[in-house]
Amino acid sequence: MQDRSRRRFLLSAGAALTSASLGDTSAMAAPRATPAPGADKALHLLMEGNAHFVKGAITHPGRTPEDFGPLAAGQNPIAAILGCADSRVPPEILFDLGIGDLFIIRVAGNYVNGAGASVKGSIEYAVAELGVSLVMVLGHSQCGAVKAAIQHLHDKDALPGAINDLVNTIKPAVLDSEHMPGDPLENAIRTNVLHSVNRLHSLEPVLAPAVRSGKLNIVGGVYDLATGKVDLLT
């Protein structure tokens, strides 16, 4: 909590400096902000925020119009999240964070393989240009995209339009998990997250070297819609 408060204070201080330096264009180039924390600290902040959310003790920092102003000239997120497009999984809320704290990419099924440049390039941008040291692939319980992959793998039918392509990209995770003990849907959701984590670990030329050098950590998690809790898989 102290880290987030200090971060918001420095952002506000940067905005005040910019307002007072109208004649100095360099002061308007970017907001004052603390450097992005290391991967371990970033993950701690995410999980600490999720614990607040689970307890119903959320603070919703950084969501007023006054908080947006200091970020108008630039951003300094603490982590990147590849999450599902599902309307029930808003990362800023379930991690109790505010505007500018997370760089979020959302696609139904939170998958990487077959997702194209829009997903991969967005994550690479967060690492190469914004300097984030933590990427989380966030799946969730009762994922409709994974359910569809299970159903249509079983039925051997096709869905209309690009929905069929989306579901096909998730089918390998279903196949890899189908002989695991336990709930087939939960197993497929977790395996799908791990597939994405593994793909990001090997993604050249931006992510893989950053992982090897220790500058980047890529983790997977699953959000439980019923409890609000995020469980880490890696």
pLDDT computed for residue 160 by the predictor: 82
pLDDT computed for residue 65 by the predictor: 85
Which one is predicted more confidently, 65 or 15? 65
pLDDT computed for residue 34 by the predictor: 64
Q: What is the DSSP string of the chain?
A: -HHHHHHHHHHHHHHHHHHH-TT-GGGGSS---PPPPPHHHHHHHHHHHHHHHHHT-----S-SHHHHGGGTT----SEEEEE---TT--HHHHTT--TTSEEEEE-TT---TT--HHHHHHHHHHHHTT---EEEEEEETT-HHHHHHHHHHHHT---STHHHHHHHHHHHHHHHHTTSSS-HHHHHHHHHHHHHHHHHHT-TTTHHHHHHTTS-EEEEEEE-TTT-PEEE--
Residue 125: phi and psi, rounded to 5, are: -60, -40
**Domain ranges within the chain, ordered by starting residue:** 35-232
Tell me: pLDDT of 14 over 80: no
What is the model's pTM?
0.83
Which one is predicted more confidently, 194 or 65? 194
- The CATH code for residues 35-232 is 3.40.1050.10
Separation between Cα atoms, residue 187 and residue 181, nearest integer Å: 8
Average pLDDT of the segment spanning 88-98: 95
Separation between Cα atoms, residue 157 and residue 154, nearest integer Å: 8
